[in-house]
Amino acid sequence: MPVKATPPASISTQPHSTDAERTVLGALLMDPDAIIKVSDFLKPEDFYDPMYRIIFQAMYDLHMEHEVIDFVTVSNKLSNDKKIQEIGGSSFLAGLAADVPTSSHIYQYGQIVKTKAVHRRIISAGEKIKGLGFEEARSVPELLDEVEKTIFQITNMFLKDKFVHIRTILDQRYEKFAEMHESKDEEAMKGVPSGYQALDNKLSGFQPSDLIVIAARPSMGKTSLALNIAQNAAIKHHKSIGIFSLEMSKEQLVDRLFASMLGVDSWKLQRGKLEDSDFQNMGPIMDELSKSNIFIDDSVASSLPELRAKARRLQMEHGLDLLVIDYLQLMSTGNMSYAGNRVQEISEISRSLKQLGRELHVPILALSQLSRAVENRPGNIPQLSDLRESGSIEQDADVVLMMYREDYYEEDSDRPGLTDLYIRKHRNGPTGRIELMFKKEQMRFYDVDKVHKPTGV
């Protein structure tokens, strides 16, 4: 008569299911193919009972070595590893197999084991987070980032993507292509529209998970272009936009947006030198702006942990379609180990922004300064090599846009306000050059063929 498997007497009150763990092991001893149903989500550390954990580890190792799992192979594996006595001998294994009439429900029992393991990890995470609260010497952004990482590790452990058959992906893509083909909206596109026809024709909008870099020398207008794109997407296309401004205050950004939509010189707005007609137009424009989903954060010392936490919270509370960062070189990792090595720190920042875009599944529009090397080049046309402080920006970015205005360098230029926007890198499409018109007094860009008509608003 087989010996019935029994749990050890020292089982505590932490969440677990002895019956589910025992049933999974018995089913695996009965059916060599059953491991395929649970191996993608169930791991040895998910078992609470130490003896059951040892047994499943042996089974898991056999599976990874492409060996058959049965009573003989598992016993032999445990004996070779000198662990057979830790579980009570071969008779304990025989009892496990005898307790299970069928292996058909192993997936369901495996899910129970996994769920209980998640419950235990939540308890452990709570203890860890409680301990972090007493580490007063560490910065709050660093602590909050570690808290979020702890929670996300549990989430990723339980909710993992699996292989998807290409048929499923093709069906989804066909539906999207058909929708775009049949759309009566000529400006329909897959990504977040910039509001500038020539740019959207090249990029098909800003794609989810993409890192888009707008690079230029100081005072070239990159902040204005980013704000124009944000207001176009928010007001015309009803997108939710998050703006991290490390250079300008939120009041300065709002003044720029307001002057741009009102069509007045920004300095007149700041000094109250507006015409009566301008004041009459202020009400409707304020209403339009206030109804848009534009969220601004002007924290002076924004670090990567703080930015990630705020972006996640914004997406959870209000939704997020586009994240704008002004600008990349003013960011820090919050990690003192990079002190004195700005190149490595910028590399880490660009990689982290790319990862954040993939995590949130939104495009990230990051502004970047160019090095002075462009000033020494005949014609002053910017190249990818001019990206300041790190070549990793070029590597991590999906799209790199570089701005050039001839009147920036030549006061008597016969192309006043005309801005060349070079698409120096486009991972999934064409590169090239487009033209925009910049009204510096209004801090506003227009499509060249719509100079007298605001774009997208």
Check residue 252 and give its pLDDT. 83
Residue 6, pLDDT above cutoff 80: no
Structural contact between residues 389 and 346, judged by C-beta atoms closer than 8 angstroms? yes
> Which CATH number is 194-450 given?
3.40.50.300
pLDDT of the residue at 390: 62
Strand partners, 444: 439
Neighbouring C-alpha atoms within 13 Å toward the C-beta of 45: 4
The CA distance from 58 to 69, in Å, is 9
> What's the pLDDT at 365?
94
Residue 422 to residue 432: CA distance in whole angstroms: 6
Residue 102 pLDDT exceeds 80: no
Quick check: 278 pLDDT over 70? no
Nearest to 200 by CA among 209, 211, 187, 215: 187
Supply the pLDDT for residue 56. Answer: 92
Indicate which residues carry an active-site annotation. 247
Lowest mean pLDDT of 311-325, 352-366, 394-408, 439-453, name the range: 439-453
pLDDT at 47 > cutoff 90: yes
- Evaluate whether 1-162 and 194-450 have a shared fold: no
Instruction: Name the strand (E) or helix (H) holding 365.
Output: strand 364-369
- Identify which has the larger pLDDT, 185 or 365: 365
How would residue 454 be classed by pLDDT, with cut points 50, 70 and 90? very low
- The domain segmentation of the chain, as residue ranges, is 1-162, 194-450
More confident residue, 365 or 88: 365
For 1-162, which CATH superfamily applies?
A: DNAb Helicase; Chain A (1.10.860.10)
Instruction: Report the alpha-carbon distance of residue 432 to residue 401 in Å, rounded.
Output: 10
Task: Please tell me the distance from the alpha carbon of residue 116 to that of residue 120, in angstroms, as a whole number.
Answer: 6
Per-residue pLDDT at 113 exceeds 90 = yes
> Could you give the CA distance from residue 396 to residue 25 in angstroms, rounded to a whole number?
45
Strand ranges (E), 103-218:
211-216
Percent of the chain with pLDDT strictly greater than 70: 84
CA 68, CA 81: separation in Å to the nearest integer?
A: 17
**% pLDDT > 90, the chain:** 14
Q: Is the pLDDT of residue 1 over 60?
A: no
Q: Kindly state the average pLDDT of the residues 423-430.
A: 87
Mean pLDDT (the chain) is: 81
Omega of the bond prior to 327 within 30 degrees of 0, cis? yes
What three-state secondary structure class fits 367? Answer: strand
**Which range is least confidently modeled, 70-79, 235-244, 275-284, 404-413?**
275-284
Tell me, what's the pLDDT at 8? 46
Confidence (pLDDT) at 321: 93
Amino acid present at 436 = L
Residue 47 identity (one-letter amino acid): F
pLDDT at residue 251 is higher than 90: no
Task: For 58-90, write each residue's pLDDT tens digit.
Answer: 998 888 787 888 889 999 988 888 888 888 788
Q: What pLDDT, in 10s, does the model give residues 369-384?
A: 888 877 777 778 888 8
